[in-house]
Amino acid sequence: MIEYKSRFAIFLSLFVLVGLSCNFLQIISPGSESSETQSPNPTNFIIPTDAPSPVSSVACPIQAQSPPPTLGAESFDFTSALTEYLNKGGSIDELEIKIEELALLIQETPSVIEGDFNGDGFYDLVVSVLLPSEEVYPISGQSLVFLCQGASYELIYSTPQTTQIGVPRFYAIEDLTNDGILDIILGIENCGAHTCFTHIEGLTWTGEKFENRLQGSSDDLPTPLIEINKNPTEIVVTGEGVASVGAGPNRGVERHWVWDDSLQSFIPSEDILLPSSYRIHAIHDADQALDMGEIVAAIEGYNNVRDNNRLLDWVDPVRERANLSAYAGFKLIVAHLMDDDQIKAETSLEELRVQFPEGEIGAAFTSMAELFWAEFLLTNDVEASCMSASDYAEEHPADITEILYFGYANPSYAAEALCQVIDSLSP
């Protein structure tokens, strides 16, 4: 069974904005060194699930010494001192109190956790502490994993000992790989000027060492919500968006990881775009449908962009709705021709002429559509017609591609491929 030697006091921790970094964690091995990173203090912590250990385990059989060992003074190497304390039979039950006396206790997450992490029947130990620092922020910490090796504890894993990262956070400590041995889902938050990210690792026992078996990365998902689901077990990370006006309207993105027995890894899914109420995101959905050959869905999407009064615009609703509606009208012409319906394509062009004539907001898209249509009448070739439209867009970026730019959290459009938009989206 997994045990928590903690007061479980949960507080809202402070946010601190510091520089980004990518390399967070390290496996302890002979000659390994901690890599320096930059990261802020963590946000709220989630207490790991209190799930029973899959195997029946007993305490590590280390003989207690007399007098009992002490953990050390205020200025000391905590990792070395803790290793010595444990291997002299120091009390696990009193360990959290001693950590608190050293002013290293983390209030937002358990500081001492016992569990069998290699399936040998003995309790191992995870210890998380604050790192002493003269700086008030960021609040930094370190996690240490010790295996019981019969007569002693051995440090097999650690997050870096640096004040440039936040406090490690546990999202789950339980058997997630169906091998009867406890696994650890651990993350470290890292914040920039406006937005926080979390580097997540799925730590499992491979039979020889503790190893991160989570493929891919969560580091690019801004302001993440992290959940562990059951039946089947999956790690779900939802990036909720960039907290900056320059990013434009945010759209949630979900990424799932599931355990693959054959690959012995947590495998990521394709990203899932969450529903959005913004008109520009409705454009993106319709463009994606057209790119995938889902012409009916694309046509419905473009009509929704033009007709739906409940869709949200961003900074200038009047101009944005007009321009995006005009763009949608142009893409309706393309979509109908791809569907071999020249009559509906011509009807869409006539609607553009009426709604967005010269001098009106969105008229540039009508001009682009006119060139597209003239080329199509000459060649009966949609691809050639698209090249004419792209040439116009390249000559008038302020009226076409720049109009379609809605901040760095959204895709941008390239003039040379406006008829195959998704191929030209750049993150």
Pick the residue with more confidence: 362 or 160?
A: 362
3 state SS of 304: helix
Q: What's the CA gap between 197 and 185, in Å, rounded?
A: 16
- Predicted local distance difference test score (pLDDT) of residue 73: 58
3 state SS of 185: strand
pLDDT of 361 above 70: yes
253 shares its domain with 148: yes
pLDDT of 53 above 70: no
129 shares its domain with 253: yes
pLDDT of 367 above 90: yes
- Predicted local distance difference test score (pLDDT) of residue 33: 36
Pick the residue with more confidence: 12 or 185?
A: 185
92 shares its domain with 137: yes
Q: What residue ranges in 240-278 does DSSP mark as E strands?
A: 253-260, 265-268, 272-273
- Predicted local distance difference test score (pLDDT) of residue 12: 27
Question: What values do phi and psi take at 194, rounded to 5?
Answer: -125, -20
pLDDT of 417 above 80: no
Q: Give tens-digit pLDDT for 204-252.
A: 999 988 899 999 999 999 999 999 998 788 999 999 999 888 999 999 9
pLDDT of 295 above 90: yes
267 shares its domain with 304: no
72 shares its domain with 87: yes
37 shares its domain with 186: yes
- Predicted local distance difference test score (pLDDT) of residue 5: 40
What are the C-alpha distances in Å from 122 to residues 102, 115, 176, 252, 292?
28, 8, 19, 43, 54
For the chain, the average pLDDT equals: 83
- Predicted local distance difference test score (pLDDT) of residue 404: 97
pLDDT-based confidence at 296, cuts 50/70/90?
very high
Torsion of CA 313, 316, 317, 320, to 10 degrees: -80
Q: How far apart are the two ends of the chain, measured CA to CA in Å?
A: 45
- Predicted local distance difference test score (pLDDT) of residue 74: 52
Tokens of 102: 């050293």
pLDDT of 393 above 90: yes
Pick the residue with more confidence: 426 or 205?
A: 205
Question: Where does a domain end: 234, 258, 273?
Answer: 273
227 shares its domain with 326: no
247 shares its domain with 364: no
Q: Which of 108, 106, 101, 114 is nearest to 146 (CA)?
A: 114
181 shares its domain with 310: no
- Predicted local distance difference test score (pLDDT) of residue 306: 97
Q: Which of 126, 167, 162 is nearest to 13 (CA)?
A: 167
Dihedral sign, Cα of residue 330, residue 331, residue 334, residue 339: negative
Over residues 95-110, mean pLDDT: 86
Question: Where does a domain end: 273, 303, 332?
Answer: 273
Q: Which of 110, 62, 111, 107 is nearest to 88 (CA)?
A: 62
Question: Where does a domain end: 230, 249, 273?
Answer: 273
- Predicted local distance difference test score (pLDDT) of residue 42: 35
What is the 8-class DSSP label of residue 312?
Answer: B
- Predicted local distance difference test score (pLDDT) of residue 226: 95
pLDDT-based confidence at 420, cuts 50/70/90?
low
What is the count of structural domains for the chain? 2
202 shares its domain with 324: no
- Predicted local distance difference test score (pLDDT) of residue 245: 87
Question: pLDDT above 90 covers what percent of the chain?
Answer: 64
**Which residues span the domain enclosing 122?**
3-273
154 shares its domain with 240: yes
**DSSP per-residue codes, 17-46:** ---------EE--TT--PPP----------
By the 8 A CB rule, do 145 and 157 touch?
yes
Q: Residue 285 maps to which CATH number?
A: 1.25.40
240 shares its domain with 138: yes
pLDDT of 178 above 60: yes
